[in-house]
């Protein structure tokens, strides 16, 4: 009897396992052993999957339920990268600065008080022979009186008179000033100081004007950063930056100031020795070379040709740049602090190129969507320079890979992108 009872209970349990159970999708606590409706909301009850019942996971379904940041299911046009040779022209903005090798000083040969100063601000142009200041000096006043006394009391003593004149010359007087004193037989209480140079006036400690490149204008070789330099047919994106000049807070010497003998009154930069500085992404450091020809647009419709004279690696705020320096002499149209448009034609680049729209720029990462088995997977690539709407691919893609022609169609937000590494 015990054996029969055990066999019956076992068969009853197996039969219970195969019985269907129905529940409400909205109210899981409602359970029934037969089809019906939910007494709470009135929805039809659905059958629960049995333990021994297998679920057939179709391949299309598997792709659909995969995480959205790993693959994208879409129907967009695809293209392949092209291995070709492209002409590249780098365009960008530069700023005119002065050549620090040609800075001169206008000193005070005597001590005294400045009665008048005719140079008022930095970068004010000055010409050779121009009066820059008037100074009152007791020493110079005494030297004039000695000369007039010798001429009036001992005119035959030529050697003493010439010595008195020489003293005035050493104190900074010119021959015309001395002659005027002798003719009028009156002393001048102030003497004029003249500039011996042509150029521009700068402050003491004046910094060289430079492009103020911030992180918002990053050194991306894609040109999405660095304020997106102008791109024309056969050109590469380059940085452009807001060009405020770094002006020192120190002021020029003013009227009423006392100066000592030998003190520097003004600093003059030779206007015939100017240079243009351009900032480009660090990725172009191997492309731009010495003596490459550069065309400068001065904004007046005139084009000036120059050659690359100096290349300097530059690092600021976590970004790499290369400073390109051009020296230009004897050009009256250039002024210190002036912005110019520059164009450098580089040597043709042979590489793998894809359209710019096929790349999604995430800042630190460049993404392309590669088609694999009817789905698109985001892949990291290393991008180079741009040319004529194309982007150079340095690493991460081959010519056989099919990629989405427009990467923007495959994303709603950058947070959905999880590229394959």
Distance, in Å, from the CA atom of 294 to the CA atom of 304, rounded to the nearest integer, reads 8
In this chain, the answer to whether the domains covering 78-86+350-416 and 89-101+210-246+271-347 adopt an identical fold is no
Q: What pLDDT shows up at residue 170?
A: 86
Q: 326, 246, 330: which is closest to 292 by C-alpha? A: 326
**Residue 71: what pLDDT?**
64
Q: Report the C-alpha gap between 197 and 107 in whole angstroms.
A: 12
- Longest CA–CA separation in the chain, Å: 164
pLDDT at residue 57 in the model = 52
Comparing CA positions, the residue from 179, 177, 172, 176 lying closest to residue 193 is 172
Task: Give residue 37's pLDDT.
Answer: 92
DSSP 213: -
Class of domain 78-86+350-416: mainly beta
**Other beta carbons within 10 Å of 282:** 16
For residue 4, give the H/E element and its range. Answer: helix 2-18
Low-confidence spans in the chain with pLDDT less than 70 = 2-18, 51-74, 205-250, 283-285, 317-319, 330, 412-421
User: pTM of the full predicted structure?
Assistant: 0.48
Q: Which of 406, 385, 404 is nearest to 394 (CA)?
A: 385
89-101+210-246+271-347: CATH, from 3.30.420.340, 2.40.30.170, 3.40.50.2300, 3.40.1390.10: 2.40.30.170
Ramachandran quadrant class, 10 (left: phi over 0; alpha: psi -120 to 50; beta: rest): alpha
pLDDT of 237 reads: 40
The pLDDT assigned to 247 comes to 42
């Amino acid at each position: 009897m015990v054996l029969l009872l055990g066999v019956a209970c076992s068969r009853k349990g197996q039969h219970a396992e195969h019985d269907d159970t129905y529940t409400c999708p909205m109210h899981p606590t409602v359970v029934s052993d037969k089809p019906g409706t939910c007494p709470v909301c009135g929805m039809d009850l659905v059958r629960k999957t049995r333990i021994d019942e297998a679920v057939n996971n179709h391949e299309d379904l598997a792709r659909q339920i995969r995480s959205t940041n790993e693959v994208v299911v879409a129907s967009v046009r695809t293209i392949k990268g092209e291995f070709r040779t492209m002409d590249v022209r780098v365009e960008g903005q530069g700023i005119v600065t002065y050549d620090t090798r040609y800075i001169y000083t206008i000193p005070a040969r005597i001590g005294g008080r400045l009665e008048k100063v005719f140079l008022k601000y930095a970068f004010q142009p000055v010409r050779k022979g121009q009066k820059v200041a008037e100074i009152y000096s007791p020493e110079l006043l005494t030297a004039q009186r000695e000369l007039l006394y010798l001429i009036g009391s001992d005119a035959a003593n030529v050697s003493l008179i010439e010595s008195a004149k020489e003293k005035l010359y050493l104190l900074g007087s010119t021959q015309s000033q001395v002659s005027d004193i002798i003719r009028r037989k009156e002393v001048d209480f102030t003497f004029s100081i003249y500039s011996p140079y042509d150029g521009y006036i700068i402050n003491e400690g004046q910094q060289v004007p430079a492009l103020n490149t911030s992180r918002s204008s990053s050194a991306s070789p894609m040109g999405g950063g660095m304020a997106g330099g102008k791109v024309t047919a056969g050109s590469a994106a380059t940085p452009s930056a807001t060009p405020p000049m770094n002006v020192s807070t120190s002021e020029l010497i003013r009227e009423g100031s006392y100066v000592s003998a030998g003190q520097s009154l003004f600093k003059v930069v030779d206007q015939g020795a100017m240079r243009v500085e351009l900032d480009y992404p660090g990725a172009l450091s191997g492309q731009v070379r010495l003596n490459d020809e550069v065309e400068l647009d001065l904004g007046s419709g005139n084009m000036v040709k120059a050659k690359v004279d100096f290349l300097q690696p530059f690092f600021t705020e976590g970004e790499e740049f290369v400073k390109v320096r051009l020296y230009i002499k004897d050009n009256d149209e250039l002024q210190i602090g002036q912005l110019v448009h520059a164009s450098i034609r580089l040597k043709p680049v042979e590489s793998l190129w894809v359209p710019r729209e096929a790349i999604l720029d995430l800042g630190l990462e460049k993404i392309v969507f590669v088609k694999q088995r009817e789905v698109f997977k985001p892949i990291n690539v290393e991008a180079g320079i741009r040319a004529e709407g194309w982007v150079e691919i340095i690493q991460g893609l081959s010519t056989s890979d099919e990629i989405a022609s427009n990467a923007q169609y495959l994303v709603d937000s950058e947070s959905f992108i999880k590229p394959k590494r």
